[in-house]
Amino acid sequence: MEELQDNMCDYLSGVCPVWCPGCGNYGILAGLVEAFAKLHLPSRELALISGIGCASRLPYFVKAYGFHGIHGRTLPIAQGVKLANPNLTVVAVAGDGDGLAIGGGHLPHIARNNVDITYLLFNNAIYGMTKGQFSPTTTLSSVTKTTPFGLQGEAVNPTALAIVYGASFVARGFSVRKEHLRDLIIEGIRHPGFSFIEILTSCSSFNTTDMNVARIIKNMDAAPAGWPDDPIEALKLATNQSKIHLGVLFRSKRPTLEERFQELQGKAQRKVPSESVQIDQLLEQFQ
């Protein structure tokens, strides 16, 4: 008989993480495997999909199906996996560069489709893996390897984008607050539809200013509990300049893409009785 997985260690693959000492991603990995353990999700029903970057190394370290994809294509791959096998719990993982620069065009479509996956956006506000170029979330005037005189451009706000794009669950967590993050991930996985979780995380090697842990701790505030299904109020929280609101900011219920497809399949099957589909007749149409 299969053993019940109820401890975070049951979800560790045994591959040793390669992240730098002090990297916030260790806290995220711990929060994620704790969430899996609390939900008792069997590893064979779990798929972790990622792109390229430090964040995207994560599937190696977790005992689950894993797909280390190509840069920026995390979400289309995750959507394909979920539609091919809706029984899987699909968790997609991307960095801020992967998910918002090269892969930024996919987010609105996954959000509006409401595919039932949980998307963890590791926001360290830098291209960590390639050693410190600015990313879409690096703040104005930041000095990075590619902006020695300070960045001339405003940062995007991932949580605000997800709300505007129509994600049906939007939350913000922090790698240092592991238990809080674990609970957000549990809620995201339980939510039927696209769950977007921005996770603020430090890059101990290349960005210790934008994602300065002490600064975040000083400014963070909890989103009001039981927050209603109101995107405008959620946006106000997401864009608040003086406080960094952590928690679930927005939640709404609408059909998932899988549910819509199932309905469509039923309609299509009713319309075309299988015995009437003659392959010869079909081919004749192309002659």
Ligand X SMILES: Cc1ncc(C[n+]2csc(CCOP(=O)(O)OP(=O)(O)O)c2C)c(N)n1
Distance separating alpha carbons of residues 194 and 177, to the nearest angstrom? 23
Among 5, 124, 204, 256, binds ligand X (CB under 6 A): 124
Contacts of 275 (CB under 8 A, 6+ apart): none
- Rounded to 5, what percent of the chain is helix, strand, coil? 40, 20, 40
User: Minimum Å distance from CB 39 to ligand X?
Assistant: 25
User: Minimum Å distance from CB 26 to ligand X?
Assistant: 13
User: Minimum Å distance from CB 71 to ligand X?
Assistant: 3
Size of the site for ligand X (CB under 6 A): 17
Nearer to ligand X by Cβ, of 96 and 258: the residue is 96
Q: Is 147 helix (H, G, I), strand (E, B) or coil?
A: strand
Tell whether residue 127 is a contact of ligand X (CB under 6 A). yes
User: Minimum Å distance from CB 80 to Mg ion?
Assistant: 24
Among 37, 90, 129, 167, binds ligand X (CB under 6 A): 129
* Tokens 């892969």 -> residue: 103
Nearer to Mg ion by Cβ, of 124 and 256: the residue is 124
> What part of residues 51-70 is at the interface with ligand X (CB under 6 A)?
52-55
Nearer to ligand X by Cβ, of 64 and 126: the residue is 126
Among 66, 95, 132, 193, binds Mg ion (CB under 5 A): 95
> What part of residues 38-67 is at the interface with Mg ion (CB under 5 A)?
none
> What part of residues 80-119 is at the interface with ligand X (CB under 6 A)?
95-98
User: Minimum Å distance from CB 52 to ligand X?
Assistant: 4
**Distance, C-alpha 135 to centroid of its chain:** 17
> Which residues in 7-80 belong to E strands, given as ranges?
46-50, 65-68
User: Minimum Å distance from CB 13 to Mg ion?
Assistant: 23
Q: Is 14 exposed, middle or buried (0-12, 13-18, 19+ CB in 10 A)?
A: exposed
User: Minimum Å distance from CB 203 to ligand X?
Assistant: 6
Distance separating alpha carbons of residues 48 and 74, to the nearest angstrom? 10
Residues 12-41: x/- map of binding to ligand X (CB under 6 A)?
------------------------------
Closest CA to 99 of 12, 22, 165: 165
Q: Which does 130 bind (CB under 5 to 8 A by kind): Mg ion, ligand X, none?
A: ligand X
Task: State the DSSP string of 188-233.
Answer: HHHSSS-EEEEEE--BTTTBSSTT-HHHHHHHEEEPPTT--S-HHH
> What part of residues 111-130 is at the interface with Mg ion (CB under 5 A)?
124, 128
Q: Is 257 helix (H, G, I), strand (E, B) or coil?
A: helix
Nearer to Mg ion by Cβ, of 5 and 201: the residue is 201
DSSP 264: H
Check: CB of residue 64 under 8 Å from CB of residue 46: yes
Residues that bind Mg ion (CB under 5 A): 95-96, 124, 128
Residues that bind ligand X (CB under 6 A): 52-55, 71, 95-98, 122, 124, 126-130, 135
